Structures are given as C-alpha cells and as structure tokens.
Structure 1
C-alpha cells in the first residue's frame, strides 16, 4: 500500500532537475510466527536528471542517478520476536529491493514528461497559408531559478517553401527581470515579420464600388475629378476596381512605446465596363505605416493593425501616360483605412500559435 509521495524539486544549474521524494508504504503478509505481519516503512528517493535535446530539437530529460535511503522501518511484531540480527537482515534486504522497485518509477515519470515535450515540435497549421514549427536552437540552459529554452521557428508557405529568417539572434540583455512563478516568452520582430510574410498572400483584396460603407464611389467620375487625364479618355460612371497586393514582405518594428508594421503594397486600378473585359489603368506603389496592438488569447498571439499614414505613393506604371498621382493620396488612404486594413485584420484574427510547452496555458498575460 503506497501512500501519496511528498515531492520536492530543485533546478541544478548547468544540468537539469534534482528530485527528492519521501516514499511511504505498508507491506502486509503472513508472519513466520503465524497471523498477519505488517511492515510500515519510509524511504527517501533522490534522483537527478539531465535536460538536453534530441535530434528533432525537442527537450528531453534523462535520468542520471537514483538513490534510496531508508528513513524508518516499523513492524507490528513485538520487539522480542524481532532480534537485532533479523532487523539488520530486513534493512539490508529492503536496501537491495527498493531501488529496483522505485527507481524505474523515476524513468517512467521522465518518459511521460518527454512525451509531452513532443508537442513543442509539432507542425501547426496557419490556416491555409502555411505551417509553423518550433524547435530548440541550442540545448536548454538551467539556472538556479529558471530554465531557458532558445527556440528556432520554421515557417513554411503553403507551397512548401521555407520562409527566410535572419540567423543572427537579437540581444537579450535588456529583458525585464524574471518574475517568480511566471513563464517569460520573447518573440523577435524578425519572427513576426516572417510570420506576416507567410500570411501576406492572404492580404490580397479586390475593392469595388459599394463594397464598404463610407468609401467614396469607385467610379471613373471620381477618378476623373482628381486626375484630368482620366476624364479625357474614359467615359464617366464606369465602375472601378482596385486590386491590392503585397509586393514585399511586411516589416515589424518594436519599440518600448509602440510597435509598427510597414506594408509595401501595389494598388492596381481597373476599369470594368459592362460590355467589355476589365482594363488596367495604372499601378501605384504604396508604402504604409500601421500601429500594431498585441493580445494573447487561446495560446495565440493576436495582432490588430491601425493605419497611421501613407508614407509613400508613386506611379509605377500607367496605360494613360504619365500624370500627377498626388491628388489620389487622400482617397487611397481612406480606402486603406476603411477596406484594406480591416480585411487584413480579419486574416490576423487566426493568431500566431505560441509554443506548446507541457500544456502550459497563458493566464494573466502582460505584454
């Protein structure tokens, strides 16, 4: 009959985990003098384990040593029936038997923990855009009060191509102090940029007239009022479609005060006459700055973007000849604010999955 153990754990700097377990059990059986015999014993089990990594980049515990020390042995036999020679024989027998009985339990517990570690390196789908996978970049580092895991991220686009991530690691010298009983997770701006690059194909959007309330009418009449060259070559009141695409990977910048995302887009304007095929009018290069807000929910990092400014707008090509595109800037900013950025935020609602480490859930999160 095993009693619930009393377990103490301590981190071994540069190694792994030290475990001390007070084991209490009662052994019953037939007595050599007749009747039932009961032996109650208490033993200290001490074991240490090394935390390393396997070939797949998964954390893994392996036991180093296991020792059993008897604390007490009591029986229900009268002391006169248990001479000292018999007591020593009982103690020595238990010292030989208990390690083979209890030490395998340490390996079994470590194997259960190792099985839970495998979820860390599982591929996680990012909707239909691709997959994300975490793995150890370097072996774990154990300190007196915490374990540090240096993770790498592997991002694949839906075609299977791996997204490029800078190999140089950002400096971690200015991190906030580690708090007791808390997990601190650091995500680099480079990783967030790569994550958005995998999702950027999902940002593409065709914006047409009456698609979003609050937008100016997307008609050749509106364009002609801003660009005289258009009114001279196109009939009024023809519907216009704006095709938004990302030309380059987004860039995330993180500061102490705010975080920003830079988008490098193209806005291609099409006219869609009812009696003929759509015709491309011109293409604008558009660089925009957006403020990023972060939140954590359901073990995912959620991003929400808000347009701050259109930092650059330039005519890239035109079937109408050269013209001054500057009058379009205000209208385009309204279109980005009312239609394009909300569409991107809907894509980002899926969130970025955080590392699944032993099933730890994110509660009372500070970002």
Structure 2
C-alpha cells in the first residue's frame, strides 16, 4: 500500500512538509495501528489473500524409497483452507512498512505410500514477513514493491486416514514444503500487495465534486515516508471552478501535531481552505425591496436613512420604498489562529430607489468590512463551516443625495447582514468541503483542532 521510504524531513513534534517551491495543501500522518487495520481489511477480511492462495499450484512430493523405506508419492496437493490468526505492522524508518502475516494452511492431496493409496492432509503453520515500500514517484503515482519476503515455518502436521505414518514421511513432507512454499507464498503476497497498493493509492488520487461550483482534485504530492511512529504523506488539493480554471493558493509552512494515541492526523493548510471557500461562496448579488415582510428592520433602516438627508433636499425621496442590493467585494479570506478561525469579507451594500421609469437613485453605497467567527465540524467525509457575525466596519463609498455621515447606520446594517446575508452565506458553505478518503479510513468520532495556518482533523 503506501508504505514507504523516507522522503521528507521529520520533526520531534510531528511531521513537516518536505521543502518545495509550492507547499502541498494537505499533510497526513497515519499510525501503525491504523495501518494494521487498513491492511487487515484489504488483504484478509476482504478475502483477497485467500482468493489468490486458492490458485497455488503445489509440486508433487516424491520419494523413490528403497529398503527399508517404502516409495512415497503425493500428488494433486492443493489448498483446502487458509486461516490468518494475525496480521501485524511495523514502520521501518527509511525503508517502509513491514507486514507480518501468521497463516495456517490446510493442504490436501492423494498419496501412495508403498501399495496403500489414500487421502493425505497436511497442516502448515507459517509466518510471512514482507517489507513493502513505494518508489518511482511521478505525477501522483508510485510503484509499490516488496523488497524482502521471508517465510518462517512452525509446525507441519501430516495425517493419513489410516493413521499409519512413518517419521521419514514427515521429514520428506517438511523438507520439500519448506523448499518450495516460500517462493510460491511470496509470489502471491507480491501480487496481493500490488493490488492493494493500487486500491489504496486510488483513495488519495481522486477528483471530488464540490456541489455544482467545481471540483477538488486530490493527488499524492511526493513519495510517502515513514518514521518509527507514523506513515506520512502530502497531498496536493487543486481547486477547479466549473470550466476548469484553477483557483490559486497561497502556501505557508506548518507542522502537524504529534499522533500520540490517535489513529490519524490530517492537516489542511490555510491556503487550500481559502481556495475552497472562494469556490463555495458565490458572488451573485442579493437584491430585494425592503419591506417588513422581507426584512424585519426595514422601517427602522428607512427612518435612519431619512434622518441623514441634507436639509432642504428636494430630490430626497421620503415615501418611496427602499431597495437594497448586497454583493461580495473581493475574495473572502479565512484566517486560522490558535483555537480560532475567522472569515473576513468585504460587502458592498447599496441603498437605492427604483423609479417608475427604471432609473435608479443611489442613496448610499456602503462598504462593510465584516469579520465572521467560523465554527468547524466534520460530518461524514465533509468539513463543514458555519459563520456568525463578530465585527463590522462601515464606510461610505458614494451618495447621490449628499449624505456624508453614516455612523448611525451601523447597527441597522449589522441587523441587515445578520438577517439577510449570513443565511445566504451559510447556505453556500453548507455544501461542505469534501475530504480525501485517506486509505479508506472512516472519519468517525473526530476532533478538530485549529493551529496557526493549519486546521487539523484528529481521529
């Protein structure tokens, strides 16, 4: 799978992304316990190893005999059943993953011992150790290989229906099986590991839709690497708008916290998250006539605006309904600080009168620099962001009726944004950010930690 050679810089507190011109958007550390669960599921519980062992072609066991021994012939020897009591995993720094599979093989064949022909059963206990690594990284793909494979045999029990068995037959069976089985078993392990490697690497290289706004293309950014305590790898997360254009990402160095007793730690960098948030938040303007049915503070806002009209302004409308247009200005910016996530936006608020002839009288064009507190959670395999208003700074951009002082409008504009704009914004964000399916590990009972420039998911 992705068990691999050292190709990064390991720090005492965890994992730092290998030095690159453009840092990858995500980094992940996986514990040996999680790797054991992944490998056990993919190789044993899904029946993949059992399936490929069934195709084992075992050589005949022959002994011409001679006084005082009778000739022995064991043919059509095949696997009846395989049991796998245990699979264990060790991470080897600079090498990769060492996988140890304990197996009990039940073999059966036809035997001819002297003049007696009958069924023979052979039970073999064997421990298979394979060192697995990845090499030849290229554009998100790596080659999974087995560097070493070793079979250590335990008990080999031979049983005939008649129960008649000589010590020499036991020795013959043991000698021939220990000479031929290792090569056959290691060939099967090599096939299985390659298949599992393709399957698991496929979880890291995927294109996932983000609603109808675009896609995220996850891809392995470099060779995975190992320490004695975790398997680490980096992922690029390219964010594509509909039509194919890529949203650029800023990159900054950030370090994953240590695994400790966790199965998995996944870190999403601030630049990557900003690109996805820019994709999620659509720029369509929100426009409506301000009435008590559409906005509960409509009357108070209209009255507050009317008090700002210059004295003697004959063109200032006092009875026409007030129309409002709210539109996002510039790019949203998500800031990650220790235990705190803030989304900063600039919003243009236009208060105007729509005349009967279709012309527009611009009463006020305001700019609101908004700070939003962000609550983060994980549901299924999606990162969800929910925002609430924490700060607002209001400034005047223009007024066609000569309004100059807008300080009294701040509480009304705050209510306007809370009531009309934030529900729209949270609706956009409710699609969520699809997370990579890291080795097929379910993201259940996760904790989310916010560090400087890094959002961390721990399980």
Which of 259, 275, 290 does residue 178 from structure 1 map onto? 259
Which of 125, 141, 144 does residue 61 from structure 1 map onto? 144
Q: 1:94 to 1:177 in 2, by over 3 A?
A: closer
Q: State whether residues 224 and 232 of structure 2, in contact with CA within 8 Å, keep that contact through their aligned partners in structure 1.
A: yes
- In structure 2, how many angstroms separate the alpha carbons of the residues matched to 1:130 and 1:37? 63
Q: 1:314 to 1:222 in 2, by over 3 A?
A: closer
Does residue 200 of the first structure (1) align with residue 281 of the second (2)?
yes
The secondary structure found in structure 1 opposite 2:140 is coil
CA-CA distance at 1:32 after TM superposition? 0.9
The secondary structure found in structure 1 opposite 2:415 is helix
Aligned to 1:42: 125
Q: 1:3 to 1:299 in 2, by over 3 A?
A: same
Q: How many residues align?
A: 361
Does residue 83 of the first structure (1) align with residue 184 of the second (2)?
no
Scaled by the length of structure 1, what TM-score is found? 0.87
Q: State whether residues 224 and 231 of structure 1, in contact with CA within 8 Å, keep that contact through their aligned partners in structure 2.
A: no
CA-CA distance at 1:165 after TM superposition? 0.7
- In structure 2, how many angstroms separate the alpha carbons of the residues matched to 1:116 and 1:144? 21
Aligned to 1:4: 83
- The answer to which structure has the higher strand fraction is 2
Q: Which is further off, 206-215 or 263-272?
A: 206-215
Q: How does 1:256-271 map to 2 (within 5 A)?
A: 256-271=338-353
Q: 1:156 to 1:43 in 2, by over 3 A?
A: same
Cα deviations by residue, 1:17-40 (Å, 9 ceiling, x for unpaired):
111112211222222121221111
Does residue 239 of the first structure (1) align with residue 324 of the second (2)?
no
CA-CA distance at 1:122 after TM superposition? 1.5
Aligned to 1:29: 109
Unaligned runs of 5+ in 1: none
Q: How does 1:41-190 map to 2 (within 5 A)?
A: 41-52=124-135, 54-58=137-141, 61-77=144-160, 81-83=166-168, 87-88=171-172, 90-167=174-251, 169-172=252-255, 175-190=256-271
Q: State whether residues 145 and 190 of structure 2, in contact with CA within 8 Å, keep that contact through their aligned partners in structure 1.
A: no
Q: State whether residues 221 and 231 of structure 1, in contact with CA within 8 Å, keep that contact through their aligned partners in structure 2.
A: no
Structure 1 stretches of at least 4 aligned residues deviating more than 4 Å after TM superposition = 77-80, 218-222
Q: State whether residues 204 and 437 of structure 2, in contact with CA within 8 Å, keep that contact through their aligned partners in structure 1.
A: yes
The secondary structure found in structure 2 opposite 1:166 is coil
Cα deviations by residue, 1:178-228 (Å, 9 ceiling, x for unpaired):
232421122222222222222232564224323545322388665323333
Cα deviations by residue, 1:87-138 (Å, 9 ceiling, x for unpaired):
2465235422442245323432441342233132222112222211222223
Q: 1:103 to 1:180 in 2, by over 3 A?
A: farther
Cα deviations by residue, 1:48-92 (Å, 9 ceiling, x for unpaired):
1103574342566332232223323221256764527x7246523
Which of 18, 29, 43 does residue 98 from structure 2 map onto? 18
- In structure 2, how many angstroms separate the alpha carbons of the residues matched to 1:229 and 1:140? 72
Aligned to 1:354: 435
CA RMSD of aligned residues (A): 2.8
CA-CA distance at 1:294 after TM superposition? 0.8
Q: 1:116 to 1:290 in 2, by over 3 A?
A: same
